[in-house]
């Protein structure tokens, strides 16, 4: 009986850990969410999926920008970090 309980506890813990690392929010939804959080219309959008932390929690990092004539210079730039499992915005950084 103790062995069955131990196996069930291990299975429960494994299931919870796997569930937190799933990607439930797709790329398009992450971009739409990021655009809702800024106050300008970007002309360039980039997105990357990064896993961070010991548990490799997935995040979408969305870069929204308006470039200038100069290379690597932006008139506006925003980075939005979104939890790829829940869709919640973790952080918004806007540089002007």
29 or 15, which is more confident? 29
pTM: 0.76
Residue owning tokens 């920008």: 65
Q: Pairing state of beta strands 57-67 and 74-83?
A: antiparallel
Mean pLDDT of the chain: 88
Q: Mind listing the domains of the chain with CATH numbers?
A: 2-95 (3.10.450.40)
CA dist list (Å): 28 to 3, 45, 69, 73: 45, 11, 28, 26
Indicate if the pLDDT at residue 92 is higher than 80: yes
Rg (CA), the chain: 19
Distance, CA of 80 to CA of 30 (rounded, Å)? 9
């Amino acid at each position: 009986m103790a062995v069955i309980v131990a196996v069930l506890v291990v299975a429960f813990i494994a299931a919870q850990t796997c569930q937190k690392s799933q990607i439930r929010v797709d790329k398009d939804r992450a971009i739409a969410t990021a655009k809702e959080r800024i106050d300008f219309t970007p002309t360039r959008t980039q997105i990357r999926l990064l896993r961070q932390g010991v548990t490799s929690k997935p995040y979408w990092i969305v870069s929204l920008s308006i470039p200038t004539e100069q290379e690597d210079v932006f008139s506006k730039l925003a980075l939005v970090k979104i939890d790829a499992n829940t869709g919640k915005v973790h952080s918004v950084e806007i540089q002007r």
